[in-house]
Chains A and B, each alone.
Chain A
């Protein structure tokens, strides 16, 4: 983290991310999402089978990420592009996860920057089971938990 920057209002960030996640999944994938609650981690660690990460830099910096199980990721992508789950290859999955991350993160960018001072870097998507991703930060990470049907969908913010 860049220490000279003020941290944005965390409540506003969380409510923005919550609304953006609900809106993106409803609009693009037709899924109704239930917001379960918020927790905090003192580390930024991702280990679900599918995750997407966007780096913010500028007047505010940090990371926003989404993660969920592989089955849910495949299902969401299949809802968006309209092909059967077994027709979704790695390319479609990676691109779909990236775009979901991009839209969820993009939705709250206006909140964070206030004047175009925040830049979103292209998303990074990771799909597979054998990894743990960690980002070194001295900020707590907010973790928003959602239910999509019977699956868990998480959104992380360390900003």
Chain B
């Protein structure tokens, strides 16, 4: 069973993401800072299908966590989506260059996160609405 991992120092955000994951039928593992997130990966790397990663956290920041994940042979295949209040271009560039598959700024809607989760886990691609000529 594929699980999601949310690494965010805010319990509020972790609960919101856990609710979205549960609505999609996924169990959501939670970690309150980067080091705790890496510990979860040590235990559950085989099960984690997507990591949702905050940027500003005590200790390692999200970018450092992302780089650590991408440098690890056992973890680097796991897609990482940044979920953060940091919306500046410099941050987005750094995250995408470091291997994040998507960058979601807070606040977000269920649709924002759900559609990305489904895409990342191969449940289909695309968007709502129509197609353009």
Interface residues of A (CB under 8 A from B): 23-24, 27-28, 77, 80-82, 91-92, 95-96, 98-99, 102-103, 105-107, 109-110, 113, 115-116, 120, 122
Contacts and interface: CB of A to CB of B under 8 A. Distances in A.
Interface stretch (B84-92, B95-103, B114-122): B84-92
A113 B107 CA distance: 20
Given A80-B16, A81-B12, A92-B11, A115 B90 contact: yes
Interface in B23-42: none
Would you call the interface of chain A mostly helix, strand, loop, or mixed? helix
A122 B88 contact: no
A109 B91 CA distance: 12
Interface in B1-47: 9-13, 15-16, 19
Contacts of B87: 106-107, 109-110
A109 to B, nearest CB: 7
A27 B88 CA distance: 20
Contact of A23 (B13, B84, B107): B107
B109 A95 contact: no
Contacts of B56: 102, 120, 122
Contacts of B11: 91-92, 95
Given A92-B11, A99-B10, A110 B88 contact: yes
A109 B88 contact: yes
Contacts of A102: 10, 56, 85, 106
Given A91-B11, A103-B85, 11 more contacts: A23-B107, A27-B108, A27-B109, A92-B11, A98-B10, A106-B105, A107-B87, A109-B87, A116-B90, A120-B85, A122-B58
Contacts, number: 63
B88 A113 contact: yes
A116 B15 CA distance: 29
A81 B84 CA distance: 17
A46 to B, nearest CB: 21
Question: Top 8 closest A-B pairs, CB basis?
Answer: A106-B85, A116-B90, A27-B107, A99-B10, A99-B12, A95-B11, A28-B107, A81-B15
Contacts of A122: 9, 56, 58
Contacts of B15: 81-82
A116 B58 CA distance: 19
Contacts of B13: 99
Contacts of A110: 87-88
11 contacts: A23-B107, A24-B107, A99-B12, A99-B13, A106-B85, A109-B88, A110-B87, A116-B90, A120-B56, A122-B56, A122-B58
Given A27-B107, A98-B10, A120-B56, A107 B85 contact: yes
